[in-house]
Structure formats: structure tokens, C-alpha cells
Amino acid sequence: MNKIVSHAGLRRTIIAAALVAAFASARAQQDAVVERSVGVGAALVSGDSADRSIYGQYNGYRQDRSYGLLDVDYYRRDDDAGRMTSFRGRNLLGETRELGFIWKRQGQWKFRAGYDEIVRYEPYQINSGLLGAGSTAPQVVHLGAGVGTGSTIEPVTRRRALSVAVTHHIREGLQFDASLSSENKDGSRLFGRGFNCPTPLLPGCATTTGISAGWATLMLPEPIDTNHTQLDARLSHASGKLRLSGGYYGSFFENAHGSINPGIPGSLNGPLGNPLPLAAGLQAALAQAVALAPGNEAHQIDIAGNYLFTPTTRGMFKLGYSRALQNQDFPGAGLSGTPPGVSNLGGSLDTTLVQLGVHSRPVARLTLVADLRFEDRDDNTPIRYYNLVGSDIVYTNRNYSRSRLRGKLQGSYQFSSEYRGTIAVGHDALDRGAFTPTSWVRGISALREKTDETTFKAELRRRMTENFSGAVTLSTARRGGSNWSMPNAGPGVTELADISGFAYDAVFMPSLADRKRDKLRLSANWQPTEALSLQFSVDEGRDRYELPTGYGLNGSAMSSYTLDADYALDDDWRLNAYMSFGDQQLQQARAAGTILSFDNRNATLGFGVNGKPSSKLEVGAVLSVMHDRNRYSQGLDTYAGANSAGLLAATGGLPDIAFRLAELRLYAGYKLSANSSLRADMVHHRARFNDWAYGYAGFPYAFSDNTTLSQQNQQQVSFIGVRYIYRWK
Amino acid sequence: MRIKSLLAIGGLCLVALCAAPMANAASDDGSKRCVRCHDDDDLPDWSKSVHAVKADARTPSCIACHGPSPTHIDKPAGVSERPKPDRVFSKHGGLMPAERSEVCLSCHDKDAKRALWASSAHPSADVACTTCHKVHTNHDRALSKTTEAALCFSCHKEQRVQAMKPSRHPIVEGKMSCSSCHNVHGSFGDKLVKRDSTNDTCFSCHAEKRGPFVHQHEPVSDNCANCHNPHGSTIAGMLTARPPMLCQQCHTPHVAGEVGALGGQPGVYSRANPDQGPQIGAGTSGKNVVTMWQGRSCLACHTQVHGSNNPSATNPTPQLMFR
């Protein structure tokens, strides 16, 4: 594992180098332009970690009250030689520091190097008795004193990436580009483990009773310690009518952790939250190794380009071949119980891609575009008996070979200088291949080998005047496919020509089902005066799925309405504002259960102003407000029983989930002198979020060891940062 | 792979490359007459722009982009208003978007990343190069991670809203931008994603999801967007719908109780009416209404939703994404 990017010494070295680069005297050269700047300052942030769980998710301002601010810039340009050197450092004292270095002679070569940090703090705080949280051997400890009596765990994930890139113009029309990046990612994120007895998957594990617990759910943070290295190289040629490039992409992913092996106590909560001894078989089941993401790699080579057949006709193509490999050693990852003689998966996926296209303007007013894409994925992963059900059903993993053919034909005609019409037709055919006869599925009612979809699109654009333009676009798509296949009681599936062979409560997947999709888009841009411009857009879309039983996702719909305005008061002041209203709906049904109608409504407002009150002062403000509401409406299916009806009546259904955000951002920049300035930034952030995933009405959701998660419903944060910036040449 | 060694090798290669002869400075005859009027006071400082590098023989002069414009340079007698240059790149310049882009492409179509511009979605929607890029500036908003997204949001309103939601990528913080995932100039991938497919693009940062795995979850290997909205969501994990709703779109449900309900609601842990006991009792299975709709929901047990590499043939085996 490459740890170089995570070494603290390296970070200090990088910061020192940044300062040296900024402060070092430039070698005097005639006609060289040198500019340097350093910005130093401090920031204060109100509230605590819980107040900042949404605001501080990515900006590194989650934990402390005060922060140092340091930015550096170095720029040197030699106009006669055409050389440029620049160095840039941002937020060097924070958790999201960035460094970028460019050295180039434009038209000849370019060298870039960079260092980038991204941090993500999990918005939820965990209260738990867990020992070794974020390790590969966490020890579950039941909180006997009750929920909220454990320690606070705040999972955080950090990415640190080092990259270099080089471009060389070998000669006119021949260029070489290469880049290498290596990113370390470490920390932890939400993860878990759970099991329910009895089950045919574990003969002998006992059910839950009043005196023993036969199931458990646990919160176990996933430990992260990975490296992802990517190499990209491309040679591009351009001469005359031909543009041709050949490239290689390599991706290498390594994970220092192969599995989690939790320690499980002998007692955990029963269904009513009281600690009970675990039922027979459950403790051993929960303690089994949980596989983490395996190391893998992918390689792709391709040739792509285009050729100008005539001044008005261009052909485009891409031929690509890629191979994805995964051969993590199972024992080395702490994973046992493999089929005899098997030490790794031997995973191998080969993908061949052929893409052809033509863009032509046979006559001045007519433009034709045609695209054809064929992708063949060949799964060469060995098929082995990895699976056992009970004591006598064995089956293998599956082969996921598939092929896909997509084509599009589009024509646009410029009727006049104002009107342009476009029609397009596309087709997408996906063949998932035959189901592996020695494999087995559960929890799925129906599969389908082939689907195909045809899309029609029509658009009319009108450029009514220089100040007003608009477009209306209609598209409709119809998807169908081959016969449905029903999983067998044992391995394999059986294709059924007659849908009546399926159970009355079978679920048909939205990714496979016949579908009708319709979309409408209207947009208009109007500039009534030189200073004022308005934009208006409407989007409406609807998906309807044809489900033989009516169970599953029946349909979805979306609509969006936006209005934007931009107004220049004068040369120095500008206003902008927008309103946006959106609605997304899903309708799905469960047999003998609910008909669920999900509705997400969103209203967003924004207002901004920026200007220059004087030659020395520049100010700006942005106000953003969002109201987002998720509504889960439930009705009862025809086959729903009295228990369902009684529960729905008692609860009143699932509560709405509302997210509200209001954020005000202010900035001001004041020029103190020719070389120095001050910059102040202020943010006031308010959020309200009543997601009931981990608690409702004061009733926390408790995992079986009394671990709970929480996120403060109302959050309020103020940030103020001031920088002194000194520039010199 | 040892980064230090690679950096050293890269540095040595760079020294070798630097030995190449310097290009001659380009002739600037095409700009001399223009800058008599359009001097430093008229235009913003764009000295740092790549279009201002005189030593690069490829650098265009004013008339290379704006045309010879003889009547603009020498206003004809008897004309009250000076005619515009031959090519003006604003909305009011008289050029169609495709004509504006052709000027830029006369140089930039040699770049492999712009090879697919002509047939891509943006020119079809009358987006020209100058719709997003500004040439006469040192700070082109399209070229900086911190300002690029706001530019894209001027047309892509839905994504503007999604980027404000609590479960999202770090676009607002300037750590990622639209071009982190999309090649706006044209791509062979869906929705202008940078690589050949949505999944390949996601794997460039989330390689741990690539697999292949012993136990695959087919919608994962089909398309990450089957379950995720990468632009933002109010549901953790940027999901399009929360479990169990999302999962039950494909999978048969297995919940006693059948309607969605939460701990803390009447009837769940308490008796809500004389004819029906509470939903959760001493002998209630783990597949109950509370564990299905709260906590990690289906993922509490089916933890390996992206696929599991666990080969164990020992009961309970990891099929069904248990471990």
C-alpha cells in the first residue's frame, strides 16, 4: 500500500515548499513577469459538531472553533520564451488543502503536479459501546445502562491524492499526454451487520422467543484504507482530414483490509429492547467474517478519432478493449470456507466497444447525425460452487456476459434564420445472455434476458429575435423485451411464454419491465433590455411500467419549473435571482400490503447581488433557500389483511420528511494599497431535517447493542473568515 | 507503485523534453491596428490567458478570430455608425452558435477531447464555445473547479437544486465540479460522462465498487444510476428512493406487518386498539416493520449491496449479500 501521500512529514514539506516558492526571489530576467501573493487569515465558526453536521460535511469546518487560513500564489511568465510557471496553494492550514504546480512552454510542453485533499464527515453521530470502531476487529459491547450512554463516534473519510501530468507537442499535429494519480483513502463510514433466525440458510439457528434473541442488527463502521492509482496515456495525431488518437488507461485499486471480523457478545437486545441471551447459532453467524471490497484492476486500450470525408461530412469512431481483473487471495483477506482448490475468484471481464458516427451537412440547411454503438462484455470469471443452502442445495456464481447495441439517427433542418426543427429516433437493445443454469436466485420473481427500447424525439427551436429564443422538445420511448423467466425452486430459471404462470404477487423489475416514457421540455430566453435577461424552463416527464401483476414500481413522474433573472444595474452592480419548483413522484405496490405513493416536492429560491461601491471596495451576497418535502402516502392493497389495515389506522401512515435550508453568503474585498487587500467572507447557514431513519417522536432507533445514531434536527452555523492578501511583483 | 521514483523519472523526461528548440514568436501584424482602439483600458487584463502567449506560433491574432473587418477598422465615409467586426461572439453578433464554434474549432478540433463536439448534446442545443468560455480574461469561469458549476447551473436547473441537498458530492465546496464526471465537449459515454459508461466514470473515484465479485448485484454492474442520483438527494447515499422502497421495486418483500411504520408510532410497540396487539412483541421476527423502515433497513442484513467477494460455502453463506 502506498502511504506516501498520507505521511504527515510530507504534508509539512509541501507547505514549506509552497512558502519558499512564494517568497523566493525571482531570478531577474528581462521581460519576465512575476507575480506573487500570500493570503493569511483566520476563521471563526459557531456551534458545535452537531450544529455543523450538514454544513461541515465536506469543508473541513466540522470540529474546531477557529481555523487558520493560508493561500499562496506564484506566477512567472517569460513572454519572449513563452514559458510560464505557476504555483498555487489553497487552504494550506485546513483539511481540504490543494496544491497545484504548472510549468509549461506553450505549444511545446507542459508539466503539472498536484496534491488534493477531500474530507467527508458523516453527518450522523454514533453513540455506542463499540470498541475498536473503524477497525477490522470491532468488539460489540452492549450498553447495559441504555441508549445514549456510550461513547460518541464520528466516522470520517479522508482522500489524499497526488498527481502528475505531462503534455508534449512532439511536432505539428502530434501530441503526447500522460497523467498519473495516486489517491489514498482512509477512515471509516457507516456499515453494519445483521441476521435473522430461523432461516434455511442456517439450519438449526433458533427463532426469537421471550427468553432468547434470534435476530440482531448492529452498526459496525467500515474501516477504509485503500489506494487507487490511475495511469492515462494518449498519443494524438491531427493532420489534414484525420484526427486519430490511441490511448491506454490503467486503474489499480488496493485495499489494506480484506474483511471485518466482529466480536459478538452472548447477549443482545430482544425485539422489545431488553437484553436476552442469543438464540442458538446466532452468535456464531454474526461473528463470521464480512468481506470488504477486494483489490482489483482495469486496463483499457482504445483508438478513436474522426475523419473529414468532405468539408461537410465527418465520420467518428472509437474502438476500445478493456479488461477488469479481480484475484484477491481469499485466505489472505481472512475469508475462509472456499470451495475446494479455490484460492481466489479469478474474476475477469473483457469488454469490447465499437462506436461509429457520422455528422453531415449535405445541404446548408440540413444536418444529419448518426451513431451506432456496440458493446460486448464477456465474463470469463470461472464458475464454481460458492453457495450452499441448508445441507443439500448447492449452486454456482453467475456469468454476467452481455451485449448491447445502440443506434441513433437525427436530422435537423433550418427552416429559416428563426426556426430549426429536429427529429431523432434511437434504439437500444440489451441482451443479458442466458441465465447460468447452475446458479440460483431468491427474492426475485422474474428475470428477462432481453430488453429493447425505441425513442422518438422532436424539437422545434425558434430564434424569434436577437433578444428572444425558445425551444420545445418532445420525446417518447417504448420498451419491451423477451419473455419473462421464472426462477426455479432449485438452480436455473424457466422462460414462460404465458405470463399467467407467475404468482399473483410477482414483482417485475423497473429495469426490465415494459415501459412507456414521455417527456416535454419548454425553454425560453428573453432579454427585453440590455441590462435584463430572463430564463424560463418547464420539464415534465412520466414513466409508466406495464407490470403483469401490478406489483412493483407502477410509474413515476417529474415536473420542474424554473425562472431565472439577471439584471445589471450599471457597470458596477449586478443582481440575479431564481425560483425553482420541482415535484417527483413514485407509485409502487406490494402484494397484501400497501400501495405507496411517494411525492418529493421542492421549492428553491435564490437571490444574489455583487458590485463595487468604490474603486477600492467589492461586495457580494447570495441568499439560497430550499424547502424539500418527502411524502409517503400509503393505501391498502386489495389483498391486505386486517392487521395491515389496523396498523395503518393506528399510525396514520409514515410521517413526511422535510429538509429546509437557508444560507446567506457575504463577501467583501477592500484594496488597502496597490499591493495589499483584505477579504472577508461570512456564511450563515440554517438547516432543518427531520429524517426519521434513526428516530421518531423521541423514540430512537436502537441497534441490538443499544447503539443509536443521531443528527440534530435544527442546525445553525455562522462562519466568518478574514484574509490579508499581499501581492508583489 | 512508488510515486517518488515516478516523479523522478517524470522530471528527467521533462528535462529531456525541454531541450527541444524554442518556437519562434508569432507575427502580430493581425492585431496592431485593433489595439490602437482596443487597448488595455478597453479590455480586461487577459495577459495570463493562453490566447495571449505570443511565443506560441499557434496563438491567434485578433483578426484570426474576429475576421479582417476592414469596415470596422476603417469606417466608411457617410456611415453614421461604425460597422461591427466580421465576427462578433456575443448573442447580438449575428453569428449562429455553430458559426461561432467553428472559429474556435479551427484550432481546437485537433484536441482529442473535443473530437466529438459536433455530434454532442451541447451544439444541438445551440450552445457555442463562447456560451461558456470567455477568451479576454485571466479568470475563465469554465476553467476553475470553484466557479464552473455555477456556469453549468445557468442551464441545468435541476442539477442546481440537487447540488443543494444534504446527500451530495462536494461541488458546493469547490472540491469537485461538473467536469469531474462529464466531458462537456462530447463523449462516447451516456450523458456526456467522461469515460465510456456511467459505471466506468463512477469507478474512477469509487473503484471499490468495480469488482467483479463472487456474488454480484446485477443492477450495480448494469448502471450505478439505477439506485443513485449522483447530483444530490435528501436520502443518505444519494439514493433515488430510500430502502425498503428502492429494494422492493425489484425484490419480493418479506415483512410481517406489510405497511410502513416507525418505532414511536401508536400500534407499533403499543396496543393501538382492543382488537389488535402491538406490531412488535417478544417473539417478533427481525424482519419487522421497524427494522425494515428505520435504521439501515434492508442493508442492516444485506450489507453488501454492491456485491460481496466472500467465497464461503459455509452456512450461512454470503449469497443474498449478507456478508
Determine the Cα–Cα distance for residues B167 and B165; give it in Å rounded to an integer.
6
- pLDDT of B3 > 80? The answer is no
**CA count, 13 A, side-chain hemisphere, B69:** 20
Contacting A residues, span 475-534, partner chain B, CB-CB under 8 Å: 505-507, 509-511, 527
Question: Is there a contact between A108 and B293 if contact means CB atoms under 8 Å apart?
Answer: no
What's the pLDDT tens digit per position in A235-254? Answer: 999 989 999 999 999 999 99
Question: Is there a contact between A236 and B112 if contact means CB atoms under 8 Å apart?
Answer: yes
Question: Is there a contact between A594 and B287 if contact means CB atoms under 8 Å apart?
Answer: no
Interface residue A255 vs chain B (CB under 8 A): yes
Q: Which residue of B has its CA nearest to A381?
A: B212
Q: Which residue of A has its CA nearest to B97?
A: A463
- pLDDT of B15 > 90? The answer is no
pLDDT bin (cut points 50, 70, 90) of residue A595 is confident
The pTM (predicted TM-score) of the whole model is 0.92
For residues A320-337, give the mean pLDDT: 95
Q: Which residue of B has its CA nearest to A296?
A: B211
Which of A296, A509, A588 comes nearest B210 by C-beta?
A296
At which residue does the C-alpha cell 438527494 appear? B233
Letter string b/e over residues A204-241, b meaning 16 or more CB atoms within 10 A of that residue's CB: ebebbeeebbbbbbbbbbbbbbbbbbbbbbbbbbbeee
Per CB-CB distance under 8 Å, the chain A contacts of B125 are 471
Q: Which helix (H) or strand (E) holds A645?
A: helix A642-651
- pLDDT of A466 > 80? The answer is no
Q: Write the DSSP assignment of A520-548 as a string of letters.
A: EEEEEEE-SSSSEEEEEEEEEEEEEEE-S
Question: Is there a contact between A108 and B170 if contact means CB atoms under 8 Å apart?
Answer: no
Interface residue A600 vs chain B (CB under 8 A): yes
What's the pLDDT tens digit per position in A605-661? Answer: 999 999 999 999 999 999 999 999 999 999 988 888 888 888 999 999 999 999 999
Per CB-CB distance under 8 Å, the chain A contacts of B312 are 288-289, 335-338, 386
Interface residue A116 vs chain B (CB under 8 A): yes
Determine the pLDDT at residue B238. Answer: 97
Determine the pLDDT at residue B14. Answer: 43
Q: Smallest Cα–Cα separation from A300: which of A246, A257, A367, A219?
A: A246
What's the pLDDT tens digit per position in A194-229? Answer: 999 988 778 888 899 889 999 999 999 999 999 999
Q: Residue B267, exposed/middle/buried by CB under 10 A (0-12, 13-18, 19+)?
A: buried
Question: Is there a contact between B314 and A337 if contact means CB atoms under 8 Å apart?
Answer: yes
**Beta-sheet strands, E only, within A466-529:** 468-481, 484-487, 493-496, 514-526
Best residue in B1, B91, B214 for a mutation probing chain A (most A CBs within 10 Å):
B214
Determine the pLDDT at residue A8. Answer: 55
Question: Is there a contact between A162 and B3 if contact means CB atoms under 8 Å apart?
Answer: yes
Interface residue A359 vs chain B (CB under 8 A): yes
Question: Is there a contact between B164 and A640 if contact means CB atoms under 8 Å apart?
Answer: no
Question: Is there a contact between B196 and A535 if contact means CB atoms under 8 Å apart?
Answer: no
Q: Under a CB-based contact definition with an 8 Å cutoff, are residues A438 and A492 in contact?
A: yes
Minimal C-alpha gap between A113 and chain B (Å)? 9
Which of B92, B258, B306 comes nearest A644 by C-beta?
B258
* DSSP-based three-state secondary structure for A21: helix
**Residue A466 contacts by C-beta under 8 Å, 6 or more apart in sequence?**
B91, B92
Per CB-CB distance under 8 Å, the chain B contacts of A388 are 313-315, 317
Interface residue A106 vs chain B (CB under 8 A): yes
Which of A251, A318, A646 comes nearest B203 by C-beta?
A251
Give the single-character DSSP code of A185. Answer: E
Q: Which stretch of A88-92, A431-435, A472-476, B76-80 has the lowest confidence by average pLDDT?
A: B76-80
